[in-house]
Structures are given as C-alpha cells and as structure tokens.
Copies of this chain bind each other. A is one copy, B any other.
C-alpha cells in the first residue's frame, strides 16, 4: 500500500512522543508499505510563535508571520526524520516548498494550488521516507506561506492525492468518530465507516477532529481518510465514499453542541434584503452565525432567529438592539442557555420519516423544540441546554445506534 500518514501536535509534543510516533511510522514502513509522513508543529509551538509576533505588533506583517510560524513544523519534521534515521529508516525531512507544495500568496490562509509529487513518488518507490512539514508551502515567487490553523490535515490530504496514495492516515489524540459523545451516552459506538458528507456535518458541529477543508478536498478526489489514534494501535474511523453498507443505517450519529445562544428579531417587515441587513454588521464584527431560521411571513411581518456562540451573545444582543430600530423590528429577545442536537446520515435521503421519528422521540420525553433546520443528510433542533443529555441518549437508542451489550 502507499500511505500518507499525518501526525498532529500532540503526537509530537516532546521527545518521548516523537519517538512513539516514529515507532508507528517505522512499523508501517517495515510492513513494506510505501510511506510519506506529514507533521504539525509540536503542541504549543504555533501559539508561542503567534504570541511572539503579537509582541511585535497585533497587525504584524502577514508574510513574516508565516515565515515565523513555518519554523514550528520544520523543527518537528527534522526531529522525526532524525529519529526514523536512528531506527534505520532512510528518512529525510522536506519543507513544504521542498516537497513541491505550491500555494497562492494569501499569507496566513493560503490555498494549495499544486503539489509536484515527482520527488516524493520517486522517494517512496525507492523505499525512502519523506517527513514533510504540514500547514505550509510556498507561492510562485518562492515566499513561504501557511494554510492557516489546522492546515496540516489539508496538506496531508493534498499530498496523498498527489502521490495517488491508497489512504491518508490522520493520527490524532482520539481514536475515531463516535455515534455521539461516549461521556454522555455510555453505549456510543465508534463509527467504522463514515461518508465524506456525514463527516463534513460532524465536523461543522464541533467534532473538531478533522478540518472541514481537508474533508472537502478528500471528497472531491475520493481519497479515503483513516482517522485514528497515535496512542492506540487500533482501527479508527474510515472517511470515504458512501457504499452499500452505509445505506443500511439511516442515521449515523447524534452530534451535539452546547455552545449556543439564540437571538430572535420579532416582527420585521418582510422585504427583500432584510436578512442581508441583519447579518452584514454581525459578519463585519467577525461573529460566526450558526443556525438561522426564518418563518414565512404573517401580514407582511416575519421573525428571524439565529444562534451564535455564547461568547458572542452579549455583543450580538447589543448590536441587534441598536439595529432593531433601523430594521423596524417589534422586539429583540434571546437566551444563552440553548444547545443544538442533530441527527446525521446519508441514509436519510432514502428513508422517509426520519425527522418525524426524531420529533416524536423528543415530544414523548417532553422536550420542547425551539428551532428546526434540515438539510439533505441532517436534521438539527435547538433545545434547552438542560435537556441535551436526555435528548441525545433517547435519540441514540431510537435510531438503533446503541452498542449491543454482550
């Protein structure tokens, strides 16, 4: 097999972890696989660098911030290559630029344009093992660029695609994606296979194990991602194209997110451009809006409700109170003790009544639904935070996700 392995900061935090990580790479290489490795900076290094640049200026030159940040992965790539070499593997480190990763020139949030994989493929075929700095590349002019936080996953997937790997193994500190949080639902199960689409929904719901961007890229090129733990040598979750097996389960998981606050603008004149008028100032303030629900209008007036993170609640409420006058809304109200619960599954597309099962399950438990949004493969409800544990447990059972206790 040809494998691209990616290790995050926790897998490289200190010499002991570097050695443990090298042992994993060594094993794969010994088994005869063609292996290339992509690494992040040691945990904490990127934050330390950011702090240094902030000490210079909070608006430090983006080009130079990238030059500074790029040293983090360069150091960890060198250390891992050293250790592999010590173990007898013909390993060598490559910076993003050396590995042929060309990006555009948007410093701090560059996009990968091409990966020139000739050198990598030749090395893999010769039994050599390249340790590549994730998160970075260089632009046409040879300037060092970074892809933004979490960009290492994207680097790994892009390299896997370029070398036509069989799989991209992404090692983290969790051993896969679960049907829901095992701390809440004891019988939650690890999802063995999950489609790209479902993974995207999981990721955007706060299961921050895989960067959304990397999943999107993998989906586009059909590159399987094996999400697994660098602490245990067990199979994780395979993120891949949906297949026959997947269709048997109509719901794959029940993710949730407690960090939600909702705000309602009531009685706004229902005119074109009303939504843009509300959300433009919020976006300008750098506040991320999550769920948005607008009901059909009643006598020319409509209500809009949306959620933001709790940290942004007070600020957003102040803005909306001010804005309310301009928008001629009747009133503004909100609360910061709500949560979001979803059911996700590509199976929903072909199974009728899935949403109905969800609503009924919650109704029978006396849990009030405050907002509903749906997509092709997801139904999301906003409920009171105090109801979350019960809701998740009941839905997990209702959709047949509980692990069978032998």
Residues of A bordering B, CB below 8 Å: 15, 18-19, 49, 52-53, 55-57, 60-61, 63-65, 67-68, 70-72, 74-75, 77-79, 81-83, 85-86, 92-93, 95, 98, 142, 144
With A71-B71, A142-B98 as given contacts, are A78 and B64 in contact (CB-CB < 8 Å)?
Answer: yes
Question: CA A67 – CA B81 in complex, angstroms?
Answer: 10
- Report whether A52 and B79 are in contact in the complex, using a CB–CB cutoff of 8 Å: yes
- Report whether B77 and A74 are in contact in the complex, using a CB–CB cutoff of 8 Å: no
Task: List, in ascending order, chain B residues with CB within 8 A of A81's CB.
Answer: 61, 64, 67
Show 25 A/B contacts (Cβ-Cβ < 8 Å), sorted by A.
Answer: A15-B52, A15-B55, A18-B56, A19-B56, A52-B79, A53-B79, A53-B82, A57-B83, A57-B86, A60-B82, A60-B86, A61-B81, A64-B78, A64-B81, A64-B82, A67-B78, A67-B81, A67-B93, A67-B95, A68-B78, A68-B79, A68-B82, A71-B74, A71-B75, A95-B144
Q: How many copies does the complex hold?
A: 2
Measured between C-beta atoms, what is the minimum distance from A288 to chain B in Å?
28
Question: CA A95 – CA B130 in complex, angstroms?
Answer: 21
Question: CA A366 – CA B316 in complex, angstroms?
Answer: 88
With A15-B55, A53-B82, A56-B83 as given contacts, are A70 and B74 in contact (CB-CB < 8 Å)?
Answer: yes
With A70-B74, A71-B74, A74-B70 as given contacts, are A64 and B85 in contact (CB-CB < 8 Å)?
Answer: yes
Question: CA A49 – CA B71 in complex, angstroms?
Answer: 12
Measured between C-beta atoms, what is the minimum distance from A42 to chain B in Å?
10
Q: Beyond A49-B75, A61-B86, A64-B79: 9 further Cβ-contacts under 8 Å?
A: A53-B79, A53-B82, A57-B82, A61-B81, A61-B82, A65-B78, A65-B82, A67-B95, A70-B74
Q: Which of A57, A70, A75 has the most CB of B within 10 A?
A: A75
- Report whether B56 and A67 are in contact in the complex, using a CB–CB cutoff of 8 Å: no
Question: CA A56 – CA B81 in complex, angstroms?
Answer: 10
Q: Which of A52, A53, A79, A82 has the most CB of B within 10 A?
A: A82
Measured between C-beta atoms, what is the minimum distance from A51 to chain B in Å?
10
With A15-B52, A52-B15, A55-B15 as given contacts, are A63 and B92 in contact (CB-CB < 8 Å)?
Answer: yes
Task: List, in ascending order, chain B residues with CB within 8 A of A57's CB.
Answer: 82-83, 86
Which residue on chain B has the smallest CB distance to residue A16?
A: B55
Task: List, in ascending order, chain B residues with CB within 8 A of A93's CB.
Answer: 63-64, 67
Measured between C-beta atoms, what is the minimum distance from A11 to chain B in Å?
15
- Report whether B64 and A92 are in contact in the complex, using a CB–CB cutoff of 8 Å: yes
- Report whether B70 and A56 are in contact in the complex, using a CB–CB cutoff of 8 Å: no
Question: CA A72 – CA B98 in complex, angstroms?
Answer: 19
Task: List, in ascending order, chain B residues with CB within 8 A of A55's CB.
Answer: 15
Task: List, in ascending order, chain B residues with CB within 8 A of A86's CB.
Answer: 56-57, 60-61
Q: Which of A71, A78, A93, A144 has the most CB of B within 10 A?
A: A78
Task: List, in ascending order, chain B residues with CB within 8 A of A53's CB.
Answer: 78-79, 82
User: 7 closest Cβ contacts across the A-B interface?
Assistant: A71-B71, A68-B78, A67-B78, A61-B85, A15-B55, A64-B82, A64-B78
Task: List, in ascending order, chain B residues with CB within 8 A of A56's CB.
Answer: 15, 18-19, 79, 82-83, 86
